[in-house]
Chains A and B, each alone.
Chain A
Amino acid sequence: MTTTARIRVDHVTRVEGHGNIVVNVTGGVVEKCEWQVPEAPRFFESMVRGRHYSEVARITSRICGICAIGHTLASVKTTENALGIAVSQQSWKFRELIKHAENFDSHVLHINILVAPDLLGAPSVFPLVATHADVVARALRLKRLAHEWGSLIGGRTTHPMAIVPGGMAAVPTTKELKKLKEQLLAAVPDLEAAVATVKALAPNVPAFDRPTEYLALSNDKDYGLYDGLIQSVLPDGTKQRYAVEDYRKVTNEFVVPQSTAKYTKNKLSSYAAGALARFNNNYDKLHPEAKKVAEELGIQPICTNPYMNTVAQVVEIVSDVYESLRLLDELIDAGVRLEPLVPPTKYGGGVGATEVPRGILFHEYSYDEEGMCRSANCVIPTNQNHNNIQHDFNELVPQLIEQDKSEKEMELALEMLVRSYDPCISCSTHYLDVKFVR
């Protein structure tokens, strides 16, 4: 049994944004065990007040450099709900396509650049350039593919341009879509090699199970990445759906004394969002090729090991490629044209949600008669995961003590746990009470 440990990790590395781990163990007793978030607050909900509806998504996109596409999509969907705008089928498909690009992009980065060094016993990807040149080159190729895929639809991936309220401000040509299809098909060997690498490293994924509630968007048609109702699944498989407008009743944000970060919970003491939550909720809707990979990697619903989130991400990148090939065929067959933007039919309030790489994202706005934003609220996936990470810590630390782990081993296990959630802390910009003015 470990008797004494003093762990203090200021600014966990290989995550987006700033988070700290603090654990004190004395005489085998856990005195302190905290996941802390010292990120500089940024006040986006205040910033968008007084801005025109056409600008709001361009501002909220800047909440996050990794999920900029997701924040843009959640924002335009919310604005469209508030202004009574229904976009065309073509716009919907382009948005689904860029959603897959973002999911693929972010997961490729997380699996290969942020997590792989842990599984290969390296401090970062840079030493791997010498020792695992093929793995690094493949990761960079896949990352570049994702960048070109998203940029073709959105203009760029960090703060995309073409996604605007009312539709798409620009669309690629059929010829460009055909070229993207070829690129995706050409990437299949790289994708298969990436799956094989993760499969080989799977025994290095720590064994730790903590059943919790899993929350994700869900619909009857597809995997629910772009749109759906809120769905919860419990460890026993019980599912329940909620309207997106009821997000406050599901997220139940609350403040706890040991953390400045706002916590969320629904049916249990905490819930998880992200790839594993989507996998557990929507496994039935996964593309057959992705299901095959899930089987190969030994993951099945309901998976309760949070470290397996990274494996669920691997399953999702396979799904992203095959679902996008389907969308590309549909768009190419229908023929693409630049459509005029759908104008507002009313001015009022609305809620919107989409799945971003780290989980379910909610935006809510209200607009005045001039189309200027009056108020805003954003509930971000990483914020929804903070409480679940803390609960994982509470259960994992005593287990590590029991297993007689050294301080260094404990520290690595906790860092790896945090990293497995792929937290995006600069996103989770509001931690305490949010005032909402209608």
Chain B
Amino acid sequence: MLRLAILAAGRGCLLLLIAVMALPSAGSAQIKDKQIFAGTTIEAGWDAIDRRASMRWEGAGWIGNDTHKFRWKSEGELKRSTLEEAEIQALYSRRIAPFFDAQVGIRYDFSPRGATYAVIGIEGLAPQWFEVGAALFIDHSGNVSARLEAERDLLITQRLILKPFIELNFSANDVARRSIGAGLTDIETGVQLRYEVRREFAPFVEFRYTRLVGKTSHLASADGESKQDLSVLLGVKLAF
């Protein structure tokens, strides 16, 4: 049943994308005030400490007009040509408030285990310029998990920007096959320092700390997996 729902959500997204693409001529002939635009950002970082070719990426993009957008998001880690973790989300994003979008769509995890989820969430700009997001994920077995994210650009100079970030993941119940325990499962936090050579191109250095928490961390110990990870990444952020 849920599998069908997820499939439907995926197809719906595709249909919406097509619909959104068909919007270009919306708006009166004289003033084309509902034009479609698109934007993409991609961050790629390489581990500076672990020299064994570990690479992390994070990307997001959108296409649409001021109210309706198709958004995609992806993040993942490649360790010595093995996909440690990789996920991609495809969402329909609709402006519901001056600073916030409501989102619905699907998420597919390539790794650690192939998994598909329905996504419902909200994303936007909170007071004091915090970019925040909250999402609920439901997989085909009905397991519910959630994610909270926040980050903020702090301008040191016009081009040198410090960005602290934090991501919290939760699970409503234990999911044995993913070694996840109920409650807060993990925290990712850190800070990125980027220099905007151009708006489109910014090299960065990033300090990233990941830690499994609670039951999830116990499960990891039992498996002999590490509970925490600190990495330093050097990379590049592209925006276009």
Same complex origin of A and B:
no
